[in-house]
Structure 1
Amino acid sequence: MGSVWETSKQLLVLQCLKTKVFEQCVLPVITYGTETWSLTMGLIRRLRVTQRAMERAMLRVSLRDQIRNEEIRRRVRVTDIAQRVAKLNWQWAGHIARRTDGRWGLKVLEWRPRTGKRIAGQPPTMWTDDIRRVAGSRCRQAAQDRVLWNSLQKTYVQQWTSIG
């Protein structure tokens, strides 16, 4: 049995249907739970490599064909996985910051562990570090204003989509 993206003599799957399946089924499965991850350049790079491999399979294009990634993305027309992950991360941060019911989620976000593995000379990467870099130290107040929060989302997503 072949891949989901392969075609056989009896079944010709149109590119628009492959794109729709990818957008509605595959992408949500890959990005499930990513809103709580600390984003790193290495993580974004690995997700993009996975997505590009799937896009090549959708087009039945090999690496040996030497077709640029931009050309493949233009043909397939799917959402960039880095953009989706960053958007989910930002939306979840806003949701947590707007909570006022005293649940532990907000306390966990503001908690700083005293120990932990880290890169030499750098503190451990925290989930809220990138969010605070874009929204400022008063990110909880910024999240209360949804119009402001959504405008800051574009900046946050852009910083992760411009990588590699």
Structure 2
Amino acid sequence: MTYGCETWTSKESDTKRLQRAVSNMFEIAGCDPLDMEKQVLRRKLKWAGHVSRMKYDRWAKIVSEWDPRGSARPRGRPPKRWADDITDSIKIFIHNEALRGNLGHGRRRHGVLKSTS
């Protein structure tokens, strides 16, 4: 049901609709439902990490950084881009981890995030 969710630009209504559908399926199966917002957020951030480490000759990198808009701006609100969605997801993730006091511990343990001392 979440195949390809790493590349979705989702609105709150989309997330609620997905959560409702998954909850209904799990209720029919007699299981506890998963929090789909967390699942999608985790997969988006994981894919964003892969894309950020890619070389510039890879299609995923080229397409994710491509700005299709021309010189004339369309009327109304600008469309939400994948990069904007990732930025919002990172803010949510950092806020939640800071509230739990876990910010940076997992990456430091694996040597990805260097210690400041």
TM-score bracket relative to the smaller structure = 0.5 to 0.7
Kindly, what percent of the aligned residue pairs are identical? 32
Unaligned runs of 5+ residues in structure 2 are: 98-117
Separation (CA, whole Å) in 2 of partners of 1:134 and 1:85: 10
Instruction: Give the 3 Å change call, closer, same or farther, for CA 46–81 of structure 1 in structure 2.
Output: same
TM-score normalised according to structure 1 size: 0.48
Aligned length: 94
TM-score normalised according to structure 2 size: 0.65
Structure with the larger RCO, 1 or 2 (CA within 8 Å, 6+ apart): 1
Instruction: Give the 3 Å change call, closer, same or farther, for CA 123–96 of structure 1 in structure 2.
Output: same
The CA RMSD over aligned residues, in Å, is: 2.8
Instruction: Give the 3 Å change call, closer, same or farther, for CA 55–98 of structure 1 in structure 2.
Output: same
Q: Which is higher, the Rg of structure 1 or of structure 2?
A: 1
Report Cα offsets for 1:140-161 as digits up to 9, x if no partner: xxxxxxxxxxxx7833888xxx
Unaligned runs of 5+ residues in structure 1 are: 1-29, 60-75, 136-151, 159-164
Separation (CA, whole Å) in 2 of partners of 1:130 and 1:156: 15
Structure 1 moving runs of 4+ over 2 Å: 76-79, 132-135, 152-158
What amino acid is the match of 1:51? V
User: Counterpart of 1:128 in 2: which secondary structure?
Assistant: helix
